[in-house]
Amino acid sequence: MKALTPRFPHLLHGGDYNPDQWLDRPDILEKDIELMKEAHINCVSVGIFSWAKLEPKEGEYHLDWLQEIIDRLYRNGIYTVLATPSGAKPVWMSEKYPEIRRVSRELRRDETGGRHNHCYTSPLYREKVKAIDRKLAERFASHPGVILWHLSNEYGGVCYCPLCQAAFREWLKKKYGTLEELNHQWWTDFWSHTYTDWEQIHAPMPNGETGTHGLNLDWKRFCTDQVIDFMKLERDTVKAVNPELPVTTNFMYYFDDYNYGKFRDELDVISWDSYPWWKAGDNSDTAAQVALWHDVMRSLKKQPFLLMESTPSMTNWTPVSRLKRPGMHMAQCMQAIAHGSNSIQYFQFRKSRGSTEKFHGAVVDHYGGSDTRVFRDVTEVGERLEALDSLSHSEIKPQAAILFDTENGWALKDAAGPRNCGIHYVETVQQHYKALWKQGIGMDVIDEEGDLSGYKLVIAPMLYLLRGGIEEKLRRFVENGGTLVGTYLTGLVNENDLCHLGGWPGAGLRELFGVWNESTDGLWDGEKNTLCTDGKTYEVSELCALIHGEGAKVLGTYGEDFYQNEPAFTVNEFGKGKAYYIAARTEDRFCDDLYHELAERLELKKALNSDPPRGVEACLRETEETRYLFLQNFSGEEKNVSLPAGYHTFPGGEEKKQITLPPYGSAVLQGSTK
Ligand code: GLA
Ligand code: ZN
């Protein structure tokens, strides 16, 4: 496997470093280096919000200060992830060129201020970004200390300015060719919303069109493509100077302004920023949510990723700023590594003295010394990463995958029925994911464009919108012996949100699952039914599909209501494989039991011989010779974990049969793969 950062092919430890806020304090800049070395920091991200220091006046570039910083870091064995500064525009630029400021859904142009709020289309902003990016690349892209480009920061949001809307119309012309085709795909005869001129098309807006689902989807797709186009401009500018230096951009948690899947082939490295809301007590739900998102990031390119930001202590934008309980920092960091991260990076190295993030956690506090709890926690992680360095070359190849598709999520949110008070797509994906996570089974989290070959089990909850040829891939997967689990609301609409005709699940999935879903009952909050299977009864709620078996074997039936005794859970033999259909939203216990049975039947690889104790996460990450077992106790209570044979405490310790983890304790154990 190719290293993520070939110039420094190691696990990275460090984070955002903003020396531009301290240029008048050379003593502090000196001290920073000393403290970084003490904390075993080997890599920092520089220049993310430095544009005003780099180009204080239009066309006047000041790069010497940055050169000094990068040189000094390098001399001291600390590598630089260099940012392009497009995430925050200088005040002079914003005031001089209103065009670069974003326009809101209410068609009001932003005033100067904030960040991450530029127009992605503005030719003027693009020109300015290109100019500064080129200057940075010419000066630093061949610097031996610079290992990666950090393009902008957390691309996000949408602009409704006339330039963006005009670009949207061009995008639509390319997609549909004719207005007739667009009108047909958007079903605009409904309410007489037929377009007779391209200029009549506007972005979906609260006081305009919101009910044309094809329009809503296409607008989001356009916004994704537009931000990627902007990102490519940045990427191609820096790559023109040195094509070898890899690029990344930092993604966010459960962020669906854009479809991150579309960035997959445009970036060399995937990275993301993780800020879990830990509390006291049991944190296993939060841990499972973060685990899923780590797996989303790793699965994008099916290679290790970078944790680009996390807080070493507290987060200041959350409702409360909880300090991490003892042990939690290491547990959180090891969780990221266990799921495939090749870095632990923080926001930020030194706390800002003023402005809105002055109380956000940082490695170095306003106090300035290293004798703090946070600094000790960070140092311990640095030492651990050095010991784990061989992992940077490992691959993770799970045998199970869950489909989680952003565009499907957009369409479900917009579906208008059968449950407008909460369709709960993300929660359902999370529920199924957690049932395997609890067993210590590694998973990929892929979207409808993903490749299904190589998995034994594919779980596809609420696969409502079919796109990217997924129906064919699912058929082939099962035909060749795979096991598929699908649910209610599968295969209702095509990629433009037009309903499949002729019975759901559409597009041939009816044959695959061997069921016909005639209708779906949306239940009010608090209403319940039951699913009875194999002598057991499980509670179901929220969504109950009324299905007819068409070749599938009925495994479970409804317990109540006018559809009592009708099928609620089925399995269909298809080719060499099996397709399960769960017709109703079940309680967790159902998923736990189902996935235990499937894990056993399919002999899915587990991190331990049996389930880890409740709240303990168990993951494996392997190199050719060594298997690392990661255990993180998120339960808030002490737990004993029995270990499979052949594991030693890490690094290089004694063989263990059992290990005791204190609340939020974590452990890494080492075994041989031979
Ligand atoms: C984001 C940003 C950072 C910083 C942190 C604070 O992830 O990228 O610049 O604002 O949040 O949590
Ligand atoms: Zn715009």
Per-residue tokens: 534: 């194999």
Dump pLDDT digits (tens) for 52-72. 999 999 999 999 999 999 999
Question: Quick check: 1 pLDDT over 80?
Answer: no
Is 538 found in the same domain as 419? yes
Question: Considering the domain boundaries, does residue 220 fall inside one?
Answer: no
Rounded to whole angstroms, the Cα distance separating 101 from 112 reads 7
Q: How many domains does the chain have?
A: 3
234 lines ligand 1 (CB under 6 A): no
Question: Considering the domain boundaries, does residue 19 fall inside one?
Answer: yes
Secondary-structure breakdown of the chain: helix, strand, coil percentages, each rounded to the nearest 5:
35, 20, 45
How many other CB atoms sit within 10 Å of the CB of residue 527? 13
Q: Which ligand 1 atom sits closest to the C-alpha of 311?
A: 12
Is 408 found in the same domain as 479? yes
Whether the full predicted model's pTM is greater than 0.85, yes or no, is yes
Question: Considering the domain boundaries, does residue 133 fall inside one?
Answer: yes
pLDDT at 394: 86
Rounded to whole angstroms, the Cα distance separating 221 from 244 reads 30
Residues that are catalytic: 154, 309
Rounded to whole angstroms, the Cα distance separating 634 from 662 reads 10
SS3 of 436, please? helix
| Nearest in space to 286 (alpha carbons), one of 666, 594, 664 | 664
Per-residue tokens: 256: 């669906």
DSSP H stretches of helix in 8-146: 26-38, 51-54, 64-75, 91-96, 123-140
Contact 337, 620 (CB under 8 A): no
Question: Which mutation among 347, 358, 363 tests ligand 1's pocket best, with the greatest number of atoms within 8 A of CB?
Answer: 347
For residue 537, the one-letter residue type is T
User: What is the 347 CA–ligand 1 centroid distance (Å)?
Assistant: 6
Question: Quick check: 182 pLDDT over 90?
Answer: yes
Domain span including residue 331: 12-160+225-391
Is 631 found in the same domain as 593? no
Q: Which ligand 1 atom sits closest to the C-alpha of 252?
A: 7
Average pLDDT of the residues in 325-329: 97
Among 254-268, 270-284, 385-399, which is the least confidently predicted range? 385-399
Is 460 found in the same domain as 378? no
Dump pLDDT digits (tens) for 451-477. 999 999 999 999 999 999 999 999 999
Query: Is-cis flag, bond preceding 651, omega within 30?
Result: yes
User: What is the 155 CA–ligand 2 centroid distance (Å)?
Assistant: 14
271 lines ligand 1 (CB under 6 A): no
Q: Which of 391, 424, 442 is the last residue of a domain?
A: 391
The C-alpha R_g of the chain, in whole angstroms, comes to: 26
Is 595 found in the same domain as 490? yes
Per-residue tokens: 467: 């796109």
Is 154 found in the same domain as 82? yes
DSSP string, 352-417: -SSSTTTTS--SB-TT--S-SHHHHHHHHHHHHHHHTGGGGG-B---SEEEE--HHHHHHHHT---
Rounded to whole angstroms, the Cα distance separating 405 from 118 reads 27
Q: Which residues of 401-439 are buried (b: 16+ CB within 10 A; e: fewer)?
A: bbbbbbbbbbbbebbeebbeeebbbbebbbbbbbbbbbb
Q: Which of 348, 370, 391 is the last residue of a domain?
A: 391
Dump pLDDT digits (tens) for 528-547. 999 999 999 999 999 999 99
Ligand nearest to the CA of 255: 1
Q: Kindly state the helix (H) or strand (E) to which residue 485 belongs, with its residue range.
A: strand 483-487
Is 640 found in the same domain as 535? no
Ligand nearest to the CA of 317: 1
Question: Considering the domain boundaries, does residue 215 fall inside one?
Answer: no
519 strand-pairing partners: 546
Is 626 found in the same domain as 583? no
Question: Considering the domain boundaries, does residue 128 fall inside one?
Answer: yes
Question: Quick check: 2 pLDDT over 90?
Answer: no
| Nearest in space to 543 (alpha carbons), one of 413, 428, 408, 431 | 428
Contact 343, 43 (CB under 8 A): yes
Question: Which mutation among 154, 311, 322, 352 tests ligand 1's pocket best, with the greatest number of atoms within 8 A of CB?
Answer: 154
User: What is the 275 CA–ligand 1 centroid distance (Å)?
Assistant: 9
| Nearest in space to 548 (alpha carbons), one of 517, 570, 579, 512 | 517
152 lines ligand 1 (CB under 6 A): no
DSSP string, 654-673: -B-SEEEE-TT-EEEEEEE-
pLDDT at 674: 79
DSSP string, 193-220: ---SSGGG-----TTS----HHHHHHHH
The CATH number that applies at residue 473 is 3.40.50.880
Question: Considering the domain boundaries, does residue 208 fall inside one?
Answer: no
Rounded to whole angstroms, the Cα distance separating 473 from 577 reads 13
Ligand nearest to the CA of 168: 2
Is 141 found in the same domain as 282? yes
Per-residue tokens: 220: 């989001």
DSSP summary character for residue 105: T
User: What is the 668 CA–ligand 2 centroid distance (Å)?
Assistant: 48
pLDDT at 673: 82
The CATH number that applies at residue 649 is 2.60.40.1180
Spatial neighbors of 484 by CB under 8 A, at least 6 apart, are 457, 458, 459, 460, 474, 477, 478, 512, 577, 578, 579, 580
Question: Which mutation among 309, 321, 355 tests ligand 1's pocket best, with the greatest number of atoms within 8 A of CB?
Answer: 309
Is 485 found in the same domain as 510? yes
User: What is the 148 CA–ligand 1 centroid distance (Å)?
Assistant: 19
Among 89-93, 174-178, 378-382, 648-652, which is the least confidently predicted range? 648-652
Rounded to whole angstroms, the Cα distance separating 413 from 405 reads 12
Is 624 found in the same domain as 563? no
Strand order through the sheet with 666-672: 616-622, 626-633, 666-672, 648-649
Question: Quick check: 105 pLDDT over 80?
Answer: yes
Q: Which of 391, 417, 450 is the last residue of a domain?
A: 391
Q: Residue 623 — pLDDT band, cuts 50, 70, 90?
A: confident
The residue whose CA has the least distance to atom 3 of ligand 1 is 347
Per-residue tokens: 179: 């207005």
Average pLDDT, the chain: 97
Phi, psi for 614 (deg, rounded to 5)? -50, 130
Question: Quick check: 652 pLDDT over 80?
Answer: no
Per-residue tokens: 423: 């369709």
Is 321 found in the same domain as 237? yes
The CATH number that applies at residue 259 is 3.20.20.80
Question: Considering the domain boundaries, does residue 70 fall inside one?
Answer: yes
347 lines ligand 1 (CB under 6 A): yes
How many other CB atoms sit within 10 Å of the CB of residue 302? 17
**Torsion on CA atoms 303, 262, 223, 315, rounded to nearest 10:** -20
Average pLDDT of the residues in 494-515: 97
Dump pLDDT digits (tens) for 345-373. 999 999 999 999 999 999 999 999 999 99
For residue 203, the one-letter residue type is A
400 strand-pairing partners: 443, 457
Contact 514, 549 (CB under 8 A): yes
Question: Considering the domain boundaries, does residue 666 fall inside one?
Answer: yes
Residues in the chain: 674
